[in-house]
Amino acid sequence: MVRPMPEPESPEPECERGQRAVENAPESPEAEYENTSGTDAERRRRRAQFLRELKEAKALRDRVRPRRARAARMRQQLRMRTFRW
C-alpha cells in the first residue's frame, strides 16, 4: 500500500519565493561587479598575489611528488615538440 506524501509545514506559493529572490537581488549585474571589483590597481594586486600563491603551490607539489612532476615535465616537452608554429 502506498502512503500519501505529508503536507509541507509552511506551504509557500512559487510566485512568492521567486519574488523574494528578485527583491534581494542587486539592481544590475554591473552594479554588483563594481562593488566587488574595487579599483583596477587593487584587482591587479589581488591577481598578482593569487598568481604568486599558485606558483608556490605548484612548486610545493613538485617537491612533494617528484615522479609526478617529472612525468608532467615530460608530457609538456612532448606537447611542445608536437606543436606546430
Residue range 18-40, pLDDT digits in tens: 455 555 555 655 555 555 557 99
Q: Which residues of 18-51 are buried (b: 16+ CB within 10 A; e: fewer)?
A: eeeeeeeeeeeeeeeeeeeeeeeeeeeeeeeeee
Confidence at residue 8, expressed as pLDDT on a 0 to 100 scale: 60
- Higher-confidence residue: 69 or 16? 69
Confidence at residue 45, expressed as pLDDT on a 0 to 100 scale: 95
Confidence at residue 75, expressed as pLDDT on a 0 to 100 scale: 93
Which residue has cell 521567486? 18
- Higher-confidence residue: 60 or 21? 60
